[in-house]
Structure 1
């Protein structure tokens, strides 16, 4: 019988803990004995009053200082998506003794993929709509989910909760820009001290799936690729993600 595991879950650009939607509940049912800790990036979710750092290393420092699991001194797994996965890779690089394994979903790096793969150009106008949405949480979530999800049924199921969450914890657009800048400048470590579980999707319309495939080549890892999910694979197909964590 497998021993219980500890998990830290990290979200990505402009997304707080609540934007995992029902995934954490599904994960707890799938792994009933495991412990899950979700931490907001500074500037996101419940920490929306804070200013987002401009460097990925600063996110690592911040999250380590805010993690219960880190303070307890027991190693854990990291499950992270997009910007969160960049932070997770840097965390693993700097503090490998803390992490059993990093599970990275749909991420990318400067220097390994061109900018038009890291943020595909057909998303530029929808991103402008996001910034023009102002305090309209409905328009804000519609703009994001249209770029990051492909399954209409899953999108509709999570949408009301996401709108409520974004109304409660509105994202400062300045922090979105700061996070974009941090992501754009980040160069992922060329070597990692441990093997990672790398996941992506051929249906990703926000970040080209070539970014995940390129990281796989860089690290000598065979990525696990979903056939059709959008960038936000945990929303589009939570069961698939959970099966990759076995």
Structure 2
């Protein structure tokens, strides 16, 4: 049996999603790698940090998260698993501080330098998103979002109550969503991979076109690891498949 050397992991969510939106995946990854150490940190403006103001530049997210990471404070290298906006932050982190991150697993992310805006946010979601502007009810919020980012009805049902409870306790402010969108829209990935990266996407992503992952992979000359059917939130849709990609 192959020996598993303990690793450090930092997990980052994306736009308007907090640590609680990992759902049961947070438990599953710790069960799968019981010897490893994990940090779950909210982006400013999300989750338990919902009263803070979100930065409008990706570099400021890096600065903020580095000041909070115990791995950074102890000068310990780590892996990152990051989704969407969190993956953009990770790319900039690797570019600015190339010796801190061992390997990055980037899930369903995109870059304005590689993909047009209508691939980075597929137009079919515009009308659905407008529903969120007129509602502050966690049930409507999570039902709308999970229907956009999770393709499995069974997985949506299994995670719904927990997601609703979390979003009810830590509602994200619309101004922070707009600030996060501004940061994401302006950020461009470097022309070459900033370090050891595994690109993970899904052919079933209905929020961000799978072409976004494929174009990054092409530019960086990397093999993309594509799920056949999951939505944008692969950790929720098919947690076991994602765990296999981390080996």
Bin for the TM-score computed over the shorter chain: over 0.9
Question: 1:195 Cα deviation (Å)?
Answer: 2.6
Distance in 1 between residues matched to 2:224 and 2:196, nearest whole Å: 11
Question: 1:143 Cα deviation (Å)?
Answer: 1.1
Which piece of structure 1 moves more, 185-194 or 95-104? 185-194
User: What is the aligned partner in structure 2 of residue 74 from structure 1?
Assistant: 76
Pair 1:116 & 2:118 matched: yes
Distance in 2 between residues matched to 1:85 and 1:159, nearest whole Å: 24
Q: Tell me if structure 1 keeps the 8 A contact 2:91–2:194.
A: no
Structure 1 gap segments, 5+ residues each: none
Distance in 1 between residues matched to 2:68 and 2:133, nearest whole Å: 29
Distance in 1 between residues matched to 2:184 and 2:129, nearest whole Å: 16
SS of structure 1 residue aligned to 2:154: helix
Distance in 2 between residues matched to 1:56 and 1:62, nearest whole Å: 10
- Give 1:14-53 correspondences, 5 Å limit: 14-53=16-55
Structure 2 gap segments, 5+ residues each: none
Deviations 1:140-191 (A, max 9, x none): 1111101101000111111100100011111101101111111111101112
Which segments of structure 1 move beyond 4 Å, counting only runs of 4 or more? none
Deviations 1:83-133 (A, max 9, x none): 000001111111111000010000000121000000000000111111211
Q: Tell me if structure 2 keeps the 8 A contact 1:147–1:205.
A: yes
SS of structure 2 residue aligned to 1:65: helix
Distance in 1 between residues matched to 2:56 and 2:70, nearest whole Å: 24
Q: Tell me if structure 2 keeps the 8 A contact 1:92–1:192.
A: no
Query: Equivalent of 1:64, from 48, 63, 66?
Result: 66
Deviations 1:216-238 (A, max 9, x none): 01111001000000000000000
- Give 1:98-113 correspondences, 5 Å limit: 98-113=100-115
Distance in 1 between residues matched to 2:193 and 2:72, nearest whole Å: 20
CA RMSD of aligned residues (A): 0.7
User: What is the aligned partner in structure 2 of residue 234 from structure 1?
Assistant: 235
User: What is the aligned partner in structure 2 of residue 192 from structure 1?
Assistant: 193
User: What is the aligned partner in structure 2 of residue 89 from structure 1?
Assistant: 91
Count the aligned residue pairs: 245
Which piece of structure 1 moves more, 191-200 or 76-85? 191-200
Distance in 1 between residues matched to 2:59 and 2:190, nearest whole Å: 12
SS of structure 1 residue aligned to 2:232: coil
